[in-house]
Amino acid sequence: MDILVRSLVIFAFLWFVVRVGGKREVAQLSAFDMILLITVGDLVSQGIVQEDYSVTAAIIAVATFTLAGILLNDLTFRFPRFRPWLAGRARVVVRDGEPLLQTLAGERMTIQDLHEAARQNGIRRLRDIELCVLENDGSFSFFTRNDDKDDKDGSSGGPDPLG
C-alpha cells in the first residue's frame, strides 16, 4: 500500500512539474534535457519503491501511474470545464506576422524556438504567418497567408477533401 501512495504522490508532482514547465516536444529537447529526464526517472523510481526492488513493487508503481494517467484523461473528457486546467490550452504565439513575445515568454520559449519551428515547416519569414498556435503537446500549427489565398480562389491544387 505504501508504494501505491508514493506512486500517486510522485504522479501528482510530475504532472504539476510538466504543467508548470511549459510546452516542449521531445524533439525540441536538448541532449542535456534528455539526460536530465532520464536522471529524474531514476530518482523518481527510488522515491516510489524505496528499497523494495521486487517485481511486485515495480508492477504496482507502473500500474498506479497508468491508472492515474487514464483517470486524468477521463476527467478531461467528462468535465470539459476543467480541460484547460488539466490538459492545458493552445496559445496563439504569432498573429498577422507579429510574434507575441509575452505569450512566448509565458511558455518559456524563445523567438529562436519559433524561428526554428517555422523553418522546419518551410516558412522563411514570420511576416508570412497569419497565425501560429502553440498546441497542448508543444507542437506548432502554422497558418500562412498563402493558405488563405489558395483557399479563396479555389486553386489549392487538389481535390476538396470534404467532398
137 Cβ contact partners less than 8 Å away, ≥ 6 residues apart: 23, 25
pLDDT of residue 147: 54
pLDDT of residue 160: 33
For residue 26, pLDDT over 80 is answered with no
Tell me the average pLDDT across 76-80.
87
Q: What percent of the chain has pLDDT over 90?
A: 19
Nearest to 14 by CA among 3, 4, 6: 6
CB atoms within 10 A of CB 94: 25
pLDDT of residue 94: 94
Q: pLDDT tens across 101-151, in order?
A: 998 888 888 899 899 999 999 999 899 999 999 987 778 899 998 654 444
Tell me the average pLDDT across 3-10.
82
Q: What percent of the chain has pLDDT over 70?
A: 71
pLDDT bracket for residue 32 (50, 70, 90): low
Quote the CA–CA distance of 41 and 55 in Å, as a whole number.
17
pLDDT bracket for residue 90 (50, 70, 90): confident
